[in-house]
Amino acid sequence: MSGYESTVPEELGEPDLRDTGIPEPGAVTVVVPTFNESGNVRELLRRITEAVPARLPCEVVFVDDSTDDTPDVIRAAARDCPFPVTVLHRDEPAGGLGGAVVEGMKAATSDWIVVMDGDLQHPPALVPDLVAAGERTAAGLVVASRYIEGGSRAGLAGGYRIAVSRAATWLTKALFPRRLHGISDPMSGFFAIRRSMVTAEVLQPLGYKILLELAVRCRPRAVTEVPFVFQDRFAGESKSTAKEGWRFLRHLAGLRTASPLARLLAFGLIGVTGFLPNLLGLHALTSLGLHYLPAEILANQLGVAWNFLLIEHLLFRERRRHRHHWDRVGRFALLANADLVLRIPLIALLVGRFGMGALSATALALVTTFVLRFAATEALVYLPRGAGGARRTSRTARGSTA
């Protein structure tokens, strides 16, 4: 983070807390991640001013990754606000929108944190209702849902975006049925969470679906929902891109493979996909006249490279920082090829020493070398080098989903 700037009006005034149903202290920090939203922030602050301070004390924290004049527009608009407005500008947007939200949560000072977009597709008038619903039900997380009675996704432009949203919702709920129980709209970017429920050190945001990250890793004790109508964007253009979709899939994979057993299964599935480039390479090389033995050795490297790329981006994304790229490449390639060297002697041992049939010995050798390769890959390629780093990883694993 390159800058921390705060704009606080001199006269805040006394908010009216009557008829809110929110006991003291019921203050709320509204966290708004922004990227080139200069055309929206003034109207957003105006609507927050109309809807929130009369019902409960509030502050607004913008975490800005913009390349335009959005921070200056926020500072100018904040002068007319009867509540504190903070601008955190990041030159390096680590973690994307999700990383911005986590930074805003760290800066929050209120009991409740409401996260919303800066494009006015999330109605600011609903902020007090989210907090009130959480207090009324003693929930740790309150989700503004488009998919319960009274909600609507009307602001989603076009059949393509609606289909993508529906597919993403179905996929996430299928992958995390227990963690997302009671959440009809895990793709929502509009929600309230108690600050006490946020464990920032276990969060590993990637992209824009921070609610999913919080629900899976922080595990709020109870969840309730409030319907909302997804509005049309006030100004500017949507930031949803194919790149963000790929980041979302990587994020899903990282969340789902947080436990050792899930990582083992995913490691096996990735290994199976490596057969395709291996066989294609073998076919191409033998078609060129190369003998099948050196062709198999070279083709195996294609499968190794394919597996490495998938494992890097889908399975151990958060652990890549522990070693340099070429160090990881060399270690992974060595282990993958050692698997071939180990498997033949092991099969011979099982057949000659223990009298097993060739087929059953081969199957047992495949399973054994696979498990050993997974354990060695995790321990020698992706685990931290020092004991302190290992302890941090252990804590992260305990805070992640099983």
Residue type, 228: F
Which amino acid belongs to residue 190? F
What is 350-361 written as a DSSP string?
HHHTT---HHHH
Of the three residues 230, 255, 280, the one that is the final residue of a domain is: 255
pLDDT value at residue 82? 93
pLDDT averaged per 10 residues, the chain (length 402): 43 40 64 91 94 92 92 93 93 81 90 92 93 92 91 65 74 78 87 86 68 80 89 66 66 67 77 80 84 77 87 76 84 82 80 80 77 83 60 40 38
Same domain, 271 and 322: yes
232 and 264 part of one domain: no
237 and 263, same domain (yes or no): no
- Tell me: the pLDDT tens digits for 222-261? 899 999 988 877 665 665 556 666 666 676 766 666 667 7
Any idea what the CATH number is for the domain that residue 117 is in? 3.90.550.10
User: Are both 13 and 130 inside the same structural domain?
Assistant: yes
SS3 per-residue string spanning 232-276: CCCCCCCCCCHHHHHHHHHHHHHHHCCCHHHHHHHHHHHHHHCHH
End-of-domain residue from the set 209, 238, 255:
255
**Amino acid type, 175:** L
Per-residue pLDDT reduced to its tens digit, 16-52:
433 444 444 448 999 999 988 888 999 999 999 999 9
Q: Are residues 61 and 199 in the same domain?
A: yes
Q: What is the pLDDT of residue 110?
A: 92
Query: Do 207 and 157 belong to one domain?
Result: yes
Same domain, 246 and 270: no
Q: Are residues 145 and 212 in the same domain?
A: yes
Regarding whether 292 and 390 lie in a shared domain, the answer is yes
Sheet strands side by side (includes 141-145)? 5-7, 85-89, 58-64, 28-34, 112-115, 191-194, 141-145, 223-227
Q: What is the pLDDT of residue 33?
A: 92
**Helix pair 210-217, 242-256: axis angle to 10 deg:** 0
pLDDT value of position 206: 63
Q: What is the pLDDT of residue 401?
A: 40
CB 85 within 8 A of CB 58: no
Tokens in use for 208? Answer: 């824009």
Query: Are 241 and 357 in a shared domain?
Result: no
Total tally of structural domains belonging to the chain: 2
Please state, in angstroms and rounded to a whole number, the distance separating the CA atoms of residues 177 and 267: 22
Q: What is the pTM of this model?
A: 0.62
pLDDT value at residue 243: 65
Last residue of a domain, one of 234, 255, 276: 255
> What residues make up the domain containing 305?
258-398
Residue 132 sits in the same domain as residue 68: yes
25 and 161 share one domain: yes
